[in-house]
Amino acid sequence: MFPSHRPRRLRTTPAMRRLVAETSVEPRHLVLPMFVREGAGEPIPIASMPGVVQHTRDSLRKAAAEAVEAGVGGLMLFGVPERKDPTGSGAVDENGVLNVALRDVRAEVGDATVLMSDCCLDEFTDHGHCGVLAEDGSVDNDATLRVYAEMAVAQVEAGAHMVGPSGMMDGQVGVIREALDAAGHVNAGILAYSVKYASAFFGPFRDAVESALTGDRKTYQQDPANVRESLRELDLDLAEGADAVIVKPALPYLDVLRAVAEVSTVPVFAYQVSGEYAMVEAAAANGWLERRRTILETLTSVRRAGADSVLTYWAVEAARWLREG
């Protein structure tokens, strides 16, 4: 008549629940992605990402300092150049927007946080692809690698502690490691986007960087139907020298994250992408979801699935909530 096992005992009080919680989220587990736009003016709100802006150089410095103050684990910078061209030449230019911003932010925050940079061409190319194009219009893997190598060195020389190759070109980690080492940057890290799906959840990001892409990235980003190739991508990136790896997106791919986290020998990051952000913000704005609880629940879920760190546009706000307790 009475149950002999009562799991509810461990849920009776907040103190009891805290005692037995298996997963925690701390400010240091959160990395803030930030956008910086070339040119003068004010920060520009991104319509599909309410609360996120394209920073100016000034507002970026300030926001970076605030994020450090909030205790986040790192910053990931993306540049939005004024002019784009077929080869994304702004990416390798030491005076290109992202390299200038890296110099600014590193001067502002020093080693108080980990400064990371997106090492990819899609923000810089006028066709919006993550690499340079061959004559037939396809993305030329090996020609792109040469540009990534140069871009990575420029970013580290501008102040990045870690570069984040996100273009899903085969061999990208290996060529970047070789180029950094050859330039004497043996301690600059590679945070490899090892697992990245051709996802509709990147939609708002394309607004954020004013991407010119028509078509899709399915010849280089992974098919959402697959998990096995994620383990292959992981193996290859580890062999090529990745210091940490990213799985992206996060919430729709928790099974993939789990599979990667179980076998990875380096820290695993998950990227809670623009579409995941927009989805929750839209529902919360309508009063359909409790905003703070939902955000913290998603972060807990991503950590529970195996992420050591989470890249999230909510990093600063969530870090403050977590500190409040």
- Positions marked active-site: 196, 248
**Contact, 47 vs 207, CB < 8 A?**
yes
String of b and e for 176-210 (b: at least 16 CB within 10 Å)?
A: bbebbeebebeebbbbbbbbbbebebbebbbbbbb
| Phi and psi, residue 197, nearest 5° | -95, 155
Q: Which of residues 251-290 bind ligand PBG (CB under 6 A)?
A: 273-274
The correct pick among 120, 147, 163, 234 for binding ligand PBG (CB under 6 A) is 120
Handedness of CA 163, 125, 47, 218 (dihedral sign): negative
The closest alpha carbon to 191, from 239, 241, 245, 148, belongs to 245
202 interacts with ligand PBG by CB under 6 A: yes
Q: How far is the CB of 2 from ligand PBG (least distance, A)?
A: 51
Check the annotation: does 6 bind a ligand. no
Check the annotation: does 206 bind a ligand. yes
Nearer to ligand PBG, 143 or 279 (CB): 279
Binding to ligand PBG by CB under 6 A, coded x per residue (else -) over 66-105, reads: ----------------------------------------
From residue 97, give the alpha-carbon distance in Å to each of 13, 38, 132: 51, 6, 19
113 interacts with ligand PBG by CB under 6 A: no
Nearer to ligand PBG, 100 or 197 (CB): 197
Q: Which residues are annotated as a binding site?
A: 206, 217, 233, 274, 313
- Positions in the binding site for ligand PBG (CB under 6 A): 118, 120, 122, 130, 166, 202, 205, 217, 273-274
